[in-house]
Amino acid sequence: MNRPTDPRVRLTIRQLEVFSAIARGGSTRAAADQVARSQSAASNALAELEDALGVALFDRVGKRLVLNENGRALLPYAAGIVEQATQTEALFSESHAAPLRLAASYTIGEYLLPALIASWKKEHPASRIQLRITNTHEVFEAIAGFEADVGFSEGQHTHRDLVLRRWGSDTMAVVASPSHPFARRRPTLAQLARSEWILREAGSGTREAADRWLLSQLDEVHVDLELGSNEAVKRSVALGLGLGCLSRHTVADAIRQGWLVEVKTPLAEMNRTLSIAVHRSKTLGSVAQVFLQHCLAASSG
């Protein structure tokens, strides 16, 4: 005997998908582009959802739609439901499988995750992955805004909407060009304080670690160049423009190849934490959960 449909269940996956897209884009026009629907269809889907729930989900600020308290409460549930629906569909057709969306800070994204992704692909060849590499602040914003499923960061940053799990550790190194005087002799703290430095930009986990390390032990730090990537810092240091302060993961190959030298300094060693971040209110899909375990197992192995 067929059970009657519950008349109270009036929400649809499409409505929740449109709602999530509006939350990301700030307008029905932006949402329409994301979900491949017309603007009028997106507007209708939002109106139907708000009518079904009996509450407004956005405040209208000029031409923008800004999540109100109701919308903020619904968003993690909507994002989770849409993701689970996509994965359910993928059970029957790999062509519909949604990609696993990762966000990582530069050190992790460029130097640690590629090997993990490669080993994952050997076991899950049909799995698709999108990796966004950016600074730590933007990694957290991507997870908080449901634009990524799992985030990887370094440093001591926190975010109220996220749960961080310790993943590993890292150490910082001072590097120089082979032609730099400090490549051949150990500098004093006073000499390091008078040196020109090339550091990552503010907001990056590497810059946060460099500032904590150097400023706690040197009277001053002369930052001559601030650059937006580890590779730019390394190349500038190799050209003799100053000293660099980067993760040992990022400089290991350059040191082995001989175009950078690690400077032996009197600075106390600097360790920093590597973390995995997920949204506090969102239930991870099965693929994201398995990938998370894959990463944790690699760090403990």
DSSP 55-75: S--EEEETTEEEE-HHHHHHH
287: CB partners within 8 A, 6+ apart: 87, 100, 127
Any idea what DSSP says for residue 203?
A: T
pTM of structure: 0.66
d(CA 24, CA 147): 8
What dihedral do alpha carbons 114, 116, 291, 108 form, nearest 10°? -60
Same fold yes or no, 13-90 and 99-301 = no
Question: What angle do helix axes 28-35 and 13-25 make, rounded to 10 degrees?
Answer: 120
The pLDDT of residue 2 is: 40
Splitting the chain (301 residues) into consecutive groups of 10 residues, what average pLDDT does each group show?
49 87 86 80 88 90 88 86 72 59 92 93 89 90 91 84 90 96 96 96 88 94 94 96 95 96 95 90 84 86 51
Any idea what DSSP says for residue 161?
A: T
What dihedral do alpha carbons 259, 261, 262, 266 form, nearest 10°? -150
Instruction: Name which CATH class applies to 99-301.
Output: alpha beta
The pLDDT of residue 94 is: 46
Kindly report the length of the chain: 301
Concatenating the DSSP letter of every residue in 211-277 gives HHHHHTTSS--EEEEEESSHHHHHHHHHTTS-EEEEEHHHHHHHHHHTSSEE---SSPP-EEEEEEE
d(CA 187, CA 193): 10
Region of 159 please: left (phi>0), alpha (psi -120 to 50) or beta.
beta
| One-letter amino acid for residue 1 of the chain | M
Read off the tokens for 3. 């059970």
The pLDDT of residue 272 is: 87
d(CA 207, CA 210): 5
Cβ(245)–Cβ(212) under 8 Å? no
Read off the tokens for 138. 């933007």
The pLDDT of residue 9 is: 57
Domain boundaries, the chain: 13-90, 99-301
Look at residues 38, 36, 35, 40 and name the one whose alpha carbon lies nearest to residue 16. Answer: 35
Cβ(160)–Cβ(90) under 8 Å? no
Q: 3.40.50.2000, 3.90.650.10, 1.10.10.10, 2.130.10.10: which CATH number matches 13-90?
A: 1.10.10.10
Cβ(218)–Cβ(266) under 8 Å? no
The pLDDT of residue 172 is: 95
Read off the tokens for 24. 């990301």
